[in-house]
Amino acid sequence: MAVNYYDDALLEKLTAWTEKTNLHIYGPDDTRRLFAVTADETKDANIKLPILCLRRSGGYEIINHNRRPLTFDGLMVSNEGSWTVTGTISGQEKLIGAYPNWDSAVKHAIQAEQLGYEEVAIACNAGEKAIKLNAVPINIIYQLDIYTRYLKEADEYMRNLIFNIINYPKLYVTIPYNSANIVHNGNIRIDSNVEDNSDVPERLIRGQFTRLSLTVTIDDAYLWDAKVRNNIQIDESDVIVINL
Protein backbone atom coordinates (compact mmCIF):
# COMPACT_ATOMS: atom_id res chain seq x y z
CA MET A 1 0.00 0.00 0.00
CA ALA A 2 1.74 3.10 -1.24
CA VAL A 3 1.86 6.83 -0.61
CA ASN A 4 -1.01 7.67 -2.98
CA TYR A 5 -3.51 6.74 -0.25
CA TYR A 6 -2.22 9.69 1.76
CA ASP A 7 -2.58 11.87 -1.36
CA ASP A 8 -6.23 10.84 -1.68
CA ALA A 9 -6.97 11.36 2.03
CA LEU A 10 -5.44 14.84 2.13
CA LEU A 11 -7.13 15.87 -1.11
CA GLU A 12 -10.47 14.62 0.24
CA LYS A 13 -10.00 16.65 3.43
CA LEU A 14 -9.17 19.83 1.51
CA THR A 15 -12.16 19.28 -0.78
CA ALA A 16 -14.50 18.90 2.21
CA TRP A 17 -13.24 22.19 3.66
CA THR A 18 -13.79 24.12 0.43
CA GLU A 19 -16.87 22.46 -1.08
CA LYS A 20 -19.05 25.57 -0.59
CA THR A 21 -16.50 28.01 -2.03
CA ASN A 22 -15.40 28.94 -5.54
CA LEU A 23 -11.92 27.51 -4.92
CA HIS A 24 -10.84 24.99 -7.58
CA ILE A 25 -8.71 22.15 -6.15
CA TYR A 26 -6.15 20.02 -8.00
CA GLY A 27 -4.25 17.00 -6.65
CA PRO A 28 -0.65 15.81 -7.15
CA ASP A 29 -1.36 14.14 -10.52
CA ASP A 30 -2.96 17.26 -12.00
CA THR A 31 -0.43 19.75 -10.64
CA ARG A 32 2.41 18.19 -12.66
CA ARG A 33 0.86 19.96 -15.67
CA LEU A 34 -1.51 22.34 -13.91
CA PHE A 35 -2.31 24.87 -16.60
CA ALA A 36 -2.64 22.23 -19.31
CA VAL A 37 -5.20 20.41 -17.14
CA THR A 38 -7.18 23.58 -16.38
CA ALA A 39 -7.15 24.50 -20.07
CA ASP A 40 -8.56 21.06 -20.93
CA GLU A 41 -11.30 21.42 -18.30
CA THR A 42 -12.29 24.91 -19.47
CA LYS A 43 -11.90 24.07 -23.20
CA ASP A 44 -9.13 26.68 -23.57
CA ALA A 45 -11.23 29.43 -21.99
CA ASN A 46 -9.70 31.87 -19.54
CA ILE A 47 -8.37 30.18 -16.41
CA LYS A 48 -10.57 30.93 -13.40
CA LEU A 49 -8.99 31.81 -10.08
CA PRO A 50 -8.73 31.09 -7.15
CA ILE A 51 -6.97 27.71 -7.37
CA LEU A 52 -5.63 25.46 -4.60
CA CYS A 53 -2.94 22.96 -5.61
CA LEU A 54 -1.71 19.99 -3.60
CA ARG A 55 1.79 19.12 -4.77
CA ARG A 56 4.14 16.27 -3.89
CA SER A 57 7.55 15.80 -5.47
CA GLY A 58 6.91 12.06 -5.86
CA GLY A 59 9.42 11.02 -3.25
CA TYR A 60 9.39 10.62 0.53
CA GLU A 61 11.79 10.01 3.41
CA ILE A 62 12.20 6.54 4.96
CA ILE A 63 12.52 7.20 8.70
CA ASN A 64 13.36 3.66 9.79
CA HIS A 65 14.72 0.91 7.53
CA ASN A 66 13.33 -1.83 9.79
CA ARG A 67 9.84 -3.25 9.40
CA ARG A 68 7.54 -2.44 12.30
CA PRO A 69 4.70 -4.84 13.22
CA LEU A 70 1.43 -3.08 13.99
CA THR A 71 -1.66 -4.56 15.62
CA PHE A 72 -5.20 -3.29 16.02
CA ASP A 73 -7.02 -4.77 19.01
CA GLY A 74 -10.42 -6.00 17.99
CA LEU A 75 -10.05 -5.11 14.31
CA MET A 76 -11.98 -7.73 12.37
CA VAL A 77 -12.58 -8.06 8.66
CA SER A 78 -16.05 -8.51 7.24
CA ASN A 79 -17.86 -7.24 4.15
CA GLU A 80 -20.86 -6.50 6.35
CA GLY A 81 -18.95 -5.28 9.40
CA SER A 82 -20.00 -2.16 11.29
CA TRP A 83 -17.78 0.90 11.71
CA THR A 84 -17.49 2.36 15.21
CA VAL A 85 -16.33 5.88 16.04
CA THR A 86 -14.87 6.66 19.46
CA GLY A 87 -13.41 9.83 20.95
CA THR A 88 -12.26 11.47 24.16
CA ILE A 89 -14.02 14.48 25.67
CA SER A 90 -13.47 15.98 29.13
CA GLY A 91 -10.88 13.27 29.73
CA GLN A 92 -13.33 10.39 29.16
CA GLU A 93 -13.34 8.02 26.20
CA LYS A 94 -16.82 7.65 24.71
CA LEU A 95 -18.47 5.69 21.91
CA ILE A 96 -19.75 8.25 19.43
CA GLY A 97 -21.67 5.72 17.35
CA ALA A 98 -21.71 2.68 15.05
CA TYR A 99 -22.27 3.15 11.33
CA PRO A 100 -22.92 0.78 8.40
CA ASN A 101 -20.17 2.05 6.09
CA TRP A 102 -16.85 3.90 5.99
CA ASP A 103 -18.17 7.15 4.47
CA SER A 104 -20.77 7.56 7.21
CA ALA A 105 -18.18 6.87 9.92
CA VAL A 106 -15.77 9.49 8.54
CA LYS A 107 -18.56 12.07 8.34
CA HIS A 108 -19.47 11.57 12.00
CA ALA A 109 -15.79 11.50 13.03
CA ILE A 110 -15.25 14.94 11.48
CA GLN A 111 -18.40 16.24 13.19
CA ALA A 112 -17.12 14.87 16.51
CA GLU A 113 -13.83 16.76 16.12
CA GLN A 114 -15.75 19.96 15.43
CA LEU A 115 -17.75 19.39 18.63
CA GLY A 116 -14.56 19.22 20.68
CA TYR A 117 -13.78 15.50 20.80
CA GLU A 118 -10.10 14.54 20.88
CA GLU A 119 -8.32 11.35 19.78
CA VAL A 120 -11.22 10.46 17.47
CA ALA A 121 -10.69 6.95 16.06
CA ILE A 122 -12.51 4.72 13.57
CA ALA A 123 -12.48 0.91 13.71
CA CYS A 124 -14.15 -1.92 11.82
CA ASN A 125 -15.71 -4.66 13.97
CA ALA A 126 -17.18 -8.09 13.07
CA GLY A 127 -16.13 -11.08 11.08
CA GLU A 128 -14.02 -14.22 11.47
CA LYS A 129 -10.72 -12.87 10.14
CA ALA A 130 -8.25 -10.27 11.37
CA ILE A 131 -5.61 -8.25 9.58
CA LYS A 132 -1.97 -8.33 10.61
CA LEU A 133 -0.13 -5.16 9.61
CA ASN A 134 3.53 -4.57 8.99
CA ALA A 135 4.71 -1.07 8.23
CA VAL A 136 7.76 1.04 7.45
CA PRO A 137 7.54 4.57 8.89
CA ILE A 138 8.00 7.38 6.37
CA ASN A 139 7.82 11.16 6.19
CA ILE A 140 5.76 12.74 3.36
CA ILE A 141 6.17 16.40 2.44
CA TYR A 142 3.49 18.31 0.50
CA GLN A 143 3.26 21.85 -0.78
CA LEU A 144 -0.04 23.73 -0.82
CA ASP A 145 -0.20 26.53 -3.40
CA ILE A 146 -2.97 29.12 -3.51
CA TYR A 147 -3.33 31.06 -6.77
CA THR A 148 -5.39 34.26 -6.73
CA ARG A 149 -5.50 37.47 -8.74
CA TYR A 150 -4.56 39.74 -5.85
CA LEU A 151 -2.40 39.36 -2.73
CA LYS A 152 -5.27 40.31 -0.42
CA GLU A 153 -7.32 37.34 -1.63
CA ALA A 154 -4.40 34.94 -1.26
CA ASP A 155 -3.78 36.16 2.31
CA GLU A 156 -7.39 35.46 3.26
CA TYR A 157 -7.47 31.97 1.74
CA MET A 158 -4.13 31.07 3.34
CA ARG A 159 -5.32 32.31 6.72
CA ASN A 160 -8.40 30.07 6.57
CA LEU A 161 -6.31 27.11 5.42
CA ILE A 162 -3.82 27.48 8.29
CA PHE A 163 -6.57 27.72 10.90
CA ASN A 164 -8.32 24.63 9.50
CA ILE A 165 -5.13 22.57 9.61
CA ILE A 166 -4.24 23.70 13.14
CA ASN A 167 -7.77 23.12 14.46
CA TYR A 168 -8.35 19.82 12.62
CA PRO A 169 -4.96 18.17 11.98
CA LYS A 170 -6.24 14.58 12.00
CA LEU A 171 -5.99 12.74 8.68
CA TYR A 172 -8.02 9.55 8.14
CA VAL A 173 -6.27 7.26 5.64
CA THR A 174 -8.15 4.27 4.23
CA ILE A 175 -6.01 1.22 3.39
CA PRO A 176 -8.04 -1.23 1.26
CA TYR A 177 -7.21 -4.93 1.45
CA ASN A 178 -9.30 -8.00 0.55
CA SER A 179 -12.60 -6.09 0.47
CA ALA A 180 -11.83 -4.59 3.87
CA ASN A 181 -10.76 -1.09 4.83
CA ILE A 182 -8.12 -0.50 7.48
CA VAL A 183 -8.18 3.00 8.95
CA HIS A 184 -4.98 4.77 9.95
CA ASN A 185 -5.10 8.11 11.78
CA GLY A 186 -2.28 10.43 10.72
CA ASN A 187 -1.58 14.07 11.53
CA ILE A 188 -0.91 17.11 9.33
CA ARG A 189 1.86 19.39 10.55
CA ILE A 190 2.52 22.80 8.98
CA ASP A 191 5.84 24.47 8.29
CA SER A 192 6.75 27.75 9.97
CA ASN A 193 6.94 29.80 6.74
CA VAL A 194 4.44 30.92 4.13
CA GLU A 195 6.26 31.92 0.95
CA ASP A 196 5.26 34.23 -1.88
CA ASN A 197 6.10 32.32 -5.07
CA SER A 198 4.26 34.60 -7.48
CA ASP A 199 7.34 34.98 -9.70
CA VAL A 200 7.08 31.50 -11.22
CA PRO A 201 7.42 30.18 -14.79
CA GLU A 202 3.64 29.58 -15.13
CA ARG A 203 2.87 33.29 -15.31
CA LEU A 204 2.89 34.99 -18.71
CA ILE A 205 3.44 38.55 -17.47
CA ARG A 206 4.57 40.00 -14.14
CA GLY A 207 1.69 40.58 -11.74
CA GLN A 208 -0.64 38.21 -13.60
CA PHE A 209 -1.49 36.34 -10.38
CA THR A 210 -0.39 35.81 -6.77
CA ARG A 211 0.81 32.45 -5.47
CA LEU A 212 1.31 31.77 -1.75
CA SER A 213 2.88 28.44 -0.73
CA LEU A 214 2.73 26.47 2.51
CA THR A 215 4.64 23.25 3.24
CA VAL A 216 2.86 20.54 5.26
CA THR A 217 4.24 17.23 6.51
CA ILE A 218 2.73 13.86 7.39
CA ASP A 219 5.44 12.61 9.74
CA ASP A 220 3.57 9.58 11.10
CA ALA A 221 2.89 7.95 7.72
CA TYR A 222 3.69 4.35 6.76
CA LEU A 223 4.29 2.06 3.83
CA TRP A 224 1.91 -0.82 4.52
CA ASP A 225 2.03 -4.58 4.15
CA ALA A 226 -1.21 -6.26 5.21
CA LYS A 227 -1.99 -9.96 5.63
CA VAL A 228 -5.27 -11.60 6.60
CA ARG A 229 -5.29 -14.41 9.15
CA ASN A 230 -8.06 -16.55 10.60
CA ASN A 231 -9.24 -15.90 14.14
CA ILE A 232 -9.17 -19.09 16.21
CA GLN A 233 -11.67 -19.47 19.01
CA ILE A 234 -11.73 -22.32 21.55
CA ASP A 235 -15.16 -23.66 22.38
CA GLU A 236 -15.56 -24.30 26.11
CA SER A 237 -17.28 -27.60 25.38
CA ASP A 238 -14.02 -28.89 23.83
CA VAL A 239 -11.91 -28.14 26.91
CA ILE A 240 -11.31 -30.98 29.36
CA VAL A 241 -10.13 -29.96 32.83
CA ILE A 242 -8.08 -32.57 34.71
CA ASN A 243 -7.57 -32.09 38.41
CA LEU A 244 -4.33 -33.69 39.67
Sequence spans of domains, the chain = 4-67+136-171+187-221
Q: Which of these, 55, 227, 56, 61, lies nearest to 137 by C-alpha position?
A: 61
Q: Which CATH class name applies to 4-67+136-171+187-221?
A: alpha beta
Give tens-digit pLDDT for 125-142: 555 555 556 778 899 999
C-alpha to C-alpha distance for 198 and 79, rounded to whole angstroms: 49
Read off the DSSP letter of residue 47: P
- Model confidence, pTM: 0.67
Q: What is the mean pLDDT of the chain?
A: 76
DSSP assignment of 127-152: SSEEEEEEEEEEEEEEEEEEEESSHH
Q: What angle do CA 23, 111, 102 make, to 5 degrees?
A: 90
Q: How far is CA 184 from CA 108, 135, 172, 239, in A?
A: 16, 11, 6, 38
Q: Are 11 and 27 in contact (CB under 8 A)?
A: yes
For residue range 200-235, what is the model confidence (pLDDT) as tens digits? 655 555 657 889 999 999 988 888 776 655 554 545
**pLDDT for residue 75 is more than 70:** no
**β-strand 118-125 against 92-99: which pairing, if any?**
unpaired
